[in-house]
């Protein structure tokens, strides 16, 4: 046990659904709890003054996912045994897309899988024309790029849905895992491959899913023991079943196991940096080294000491005379996307037969650092970095170079499409460091490195910069950065920019002020912090950390943007180029 933890996040008057995954931590720092009667969401908060409490990092609220029509409602009445009808649909579990947190896949109690964008349903995944069991889904997982969804049905099949978000359409490919008609109940998919578990507790492994006919391999045969958790880590699969932990080498097929307490449901916490795995339960916890030939249970000195301390504190305050038996329940856990922290949902209470109503329910979420130090990662974004920074006691990330203005890794090919160029730019270590620095020190915000990078792309494509909005944007960048313009300067070059209620005319040249731009009519206007265009609209996006505003391109229908400004505004419509955090909309 190392650092002092943040005070727990407390969730009141909710009950967890008994499902595969009750807690999810998304790429933008949002927590999703599979609770009833409504889904609970922990929205990330930004504050300069964090007082060592989780409630300063998350705002708990309820969300009601709109449900699309149940595709199976009138499919086959003979299969409906509940009063010849199906129960009302509701969301049982959701998983945000690993690269875009505004995309969420969710599964309903009626076996539908729905894709949401900004909490609005856009797709109901289906293979029309197939029978009921083949169209009823019970598990799913995103691929690492977020373009494909692996879905398990009731016929021992895995369906790979490839999604085109530009048209909101999809195509599918079916992989038969077994000739039996078992349900596919768990799926884990990462860079190392895909593993799936069926209702008869068989575990399958697949890789090379891009092939036309991927091949599945049974790595753990069926048994009568329930599978509690699965983990795929490099070339090793860990399986937690009742009374045993299995370690399976994918390359050699070697399978070894260790007997554990059958009353404990062990969950896995991977320690990727240490090549170790924590086996966590409510009664005991161990560490297994990935490279060991056997399964040797080492004591866990990372996570379990915190749980023991919580239990002991409850014992000292509520059971000091040892009159009662205490039960510590672990509902679920979620690893942060940057893999440096873990969130654990738990409760401690007296064992009794007392009747409880939902309003009495309460569970806590604790956030534990998994290592001595942490580093910035492109797997997360601004608010997730900010959360990790506070979970580690405001310890600065370890970086190979302390300078936040390093440009050594910013040699991106300008022949790429602008979207691809921006996508690579925001993943460079120099830009990530600058975003994080802007997040923790908003009084010294700098956009110089970012602006120089997009200006570099503009110079490489100067012949395409024809649109007046693009020219005003790029020329303003030249003047603010005090660089020589690529345009032929004409003092009579002007542009009319429109708002909802006003039009103003601006000179394209001679605008060197970073914050303000003056119109020919004599009015001063604040600039869009991304494109440097004047803000004549209240439809803006606001970065919560820097308070910088950009134009909300989805609501501006008055102006004709060129390819350069439109791509910038569309790419950064959700995430701030200043901090990498999620925008809020002006009201």
Residue 281, both tokens: 């339960």
**Packing angle of the helix pair 468-480, 448-460 (nearest 10 deg):** 130
- pLDDT above 80 (res 3): no
Sheet (strand 255-259) strand order:
227-233, 236-241, 244-249, 255-259
The residue with greater pLDDT, 147 or 489, is 147
- pLDDT above 50 (res 408): no
- pLDDT above 70 (res 20): no
320 prior amide bond cis, ω within 30: no
Tell me how far CA of residue 399 lies from CA of 39, 338, 375, 439, in angstroms.
38, 15, 6, 16
Calculate the average pLDDT of the chain: 89
Lowest mean pLDDT across 1-10, 45-54, 219-228: 1-10
Q: pLDDT at position 406, please?
A: 42
Q: What percent of the chain has pLDDT over 90?
A: 64
Euclidean distance between CA atoms 530 and 461, whole angstroms: 19
Q: pLDDT at position 47, please?
A: 87
Q: Residues with Cβ < 8 Å from 530, sequence gap 6 or more? A: 550, 551, 568, 569, 572, 577
Q: pLDDT at position 260, please?
A: 94
Condensed to tens digits (0 to 9), the pLDDT of residues 59-85 reads: 999 998 998 888 877 665 555 555 445
419 φ, ψ to 5°? -60, -45
pTM: 0.91
Condensed to tens digits (0 to 9), the pLDDT of residues 230-257 reads: 999 999 999 999 999 999 999 898 999 9
The residues that bridge with 496 in the sheet, in sequence order, are 505
Q: pLDDT at position 1, please?
A: 46
- For residue 420, how many C-alpha atoms fall within 13 Å in the half-sphere facing its CB? 6
- pLDDT above 60 (res 403): no
Condensed to tens digits (0 to 9), the pLDDT of residues 300-343 reads: 999 999 999 999 888 888 777 777 788 899 999 999 999 999 99
Beta strands in 413-528 (DSSP E): 494-498, 503-507, 516-518, 524-526
Q: pLDDT at position 53, please?
A: 92
Sheet (strand 326-335) strand order:
9-12, 362-369, 341-350, 326-335
Q: pLDDT at position 75, please?
A: 66
Euclidean distance between CA atoms 489 and 510, whole angstroms: 9
Lowest mean pLDDT across 16-30, 199-213, 360-374: 16-30
- pLDDT above 90 (res 50): no
Q: pLDDT at position 410, please?
A: 60
Lowest mean pLDDT across 105-119, 210-224, 402-416: 402-416
Q: pLDDT at position 78, please?
A: 57
| DSSP code string of 207-225 | --TTSSS--EEEEE---SS
**Structure confidence at residue 407 as a pLDDT band (50, 70, 90):** very low
**Structure confidence at residue 510 as a pLDDT band (50, 70, 90):** confident
Residue 565, both tokens: 């400004």
Q: pLDDT at position 210, please?
A: 83
Q: pLDDT at position 2, please?
A: 60
Q: Average the pLDDT over 219-227 and give the result.
A: 93
Angle 270-275-279 (CA atoms, 0-180°, nearest 5)? 40
Lowest mean pLDDT across 174-178, 233-237, 308-312, 508-512: 508-512
The residue with greater pLDDT, 368 or 493, is 368
Find the distance separating the first CA and the last CA of the chain, reported in whole Å. 45
Cβ neighbours around 496 below 10 Å, total: 12
- pLDDT above 90 (res 351): no
Q: Residues with Cβ < 8 Å from 392, sequence gap 6 or more? A: 3, 340, 341, 369, 373, 374
Q: Say how many residues make up the chain.
A: 587
Condensed to tens digits (0 to 9), the pLDDT of residues 461-486 reads: 999 999 999 999 999 999 999 998 88
Q: What share of the chain is helix, strand, coil (3-state, %, to 5)?
A: 15, 35, 50
**Structure confidence at residue 19 as a pLDDT band (50, 70, 90):** low
Provide the pairing of β-strand 58-63 with 236-241.
unpaired
- DSSP annotation of 534: B
Condensed to tens digits (0 to 9), the pLDDT of residues 554-572 reads: 998 889 999 999 999 999 9
Angle 235-427-146 (CA atoms, 0-180°, nearest 5)? 55
- pLDDT above 80 (res 360): no
């Amino acid at each position: 046990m190392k650092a002092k933890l943040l005070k727990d996040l407390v969730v009141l008057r909710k009950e967890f659904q008994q499902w595969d995954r009750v807690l999810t931590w998304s790429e933008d720092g949002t927590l999703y709890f599979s609770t009833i009667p409504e889904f609970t969401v922990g929205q990330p908060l930004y504050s300069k003054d964090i007082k060592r409490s989780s409630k300063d990092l998350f705002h708990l609220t309820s969300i009601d996912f709109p449900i699309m029509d149940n595709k199976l409602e009138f499919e086959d009445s003979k299969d409906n045994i509940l009063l010849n009808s199906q129960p009302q649909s509701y969301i049982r579990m959701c998983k945000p897309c690993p690269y875009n947190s505004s995309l969420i896949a969710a599964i309903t109690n009626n076996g539908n899988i729905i894709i949401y964008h900004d909490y609005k349903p856009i797709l109901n995944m289906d293979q029309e024309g197939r029978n009921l069991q083949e169209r009823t889904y019970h598990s799913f997982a995103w691929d690492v790029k977020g373009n494909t969804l692996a879905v398990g049905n009731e016929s021992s099949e895995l369906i790979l849905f490839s999604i085109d978000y530009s048209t909101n359409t999809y195509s599918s490919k079916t992989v038969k895992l077994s000739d039996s008609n078992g349900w596919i109940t768990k799926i884990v998919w990462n860079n190392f491959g895909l593993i799936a578990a069926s209702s008869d507790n068989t575990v399958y492994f697949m890789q090379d899913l891009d092939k036309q006919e991927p091949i599945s391999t049974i790595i753990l045969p069926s048994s009568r023991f329930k599978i509690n958790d699965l983990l795929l880590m490099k070339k090793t699969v860990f399986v937690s079943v009742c009374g045993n932990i299995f370690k399976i080498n994918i390359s050699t097929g070697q399978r070894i196991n260790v007997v554990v307490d059958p009353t404990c449901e062990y969950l896995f916490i991977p320690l990727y940096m240490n090549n170790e795995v924590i086996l966590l339960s409510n009664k005991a916890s161990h560490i297994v080294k990935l490279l060991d030939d056997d399964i040797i249970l080492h004591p866990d000195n990372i996570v379990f000491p915190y749980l023991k301390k919580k239990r002991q504190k409850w014992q000292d305050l509520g059971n000091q005379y040892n009159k009662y038996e205490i039960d510590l329940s672990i509902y679920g856990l979620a690893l942060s996307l940057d893999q440096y922290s873990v969130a654990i949902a738990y409760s401690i209470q007296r064992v009794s037969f007392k009747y409880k109503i939902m309003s009495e329910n309460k569970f806590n979420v604790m956030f534990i650092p998994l290592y001595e130090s942490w580093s910035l990662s492109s797997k997360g974004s601004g608010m997730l970095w900010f959360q990790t920074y506070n979970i580690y006691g405001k310890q600065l990330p370890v970086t190979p170079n302390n300078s936040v203005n390093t440009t050594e890794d910013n040699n991106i090919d300008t022949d790429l499409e602008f979207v691809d160029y921006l996508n690579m730019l925001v993943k460079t270590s120099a830009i990530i460091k600058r975003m994080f620095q802007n997040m923790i020190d908003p009084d010294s915000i700098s956009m110089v490195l970012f602006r120089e990078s997009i200006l570099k792309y503009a110079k490489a494509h100067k012949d395409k910069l024809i649109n007046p909005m693009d020219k005003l944007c790029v020329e303003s960048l030249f003047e603010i950065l005090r660089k020589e313009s690529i345009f032929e300067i004409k003092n009579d070059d002007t542009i009319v920019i429109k708002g909802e209620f006003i039009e103003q005319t601006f000179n394209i040249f001679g605008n060197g002020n970073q914050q303000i731009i003056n119109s020919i009519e004599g009015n001063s206007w604040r600039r869009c912090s991304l494109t440097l265009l004047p803000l004549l609209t209240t439809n803006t996006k606001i970065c919560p950390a820097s308070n910088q505003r950009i134009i909300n391109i989805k609501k501006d229908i008055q102006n004709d943007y060129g390819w350069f400004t439109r791509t910038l505004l569309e790419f950064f419509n959700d995430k701030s180029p200043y901090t990498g955090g999620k925008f809020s909309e002006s009201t």
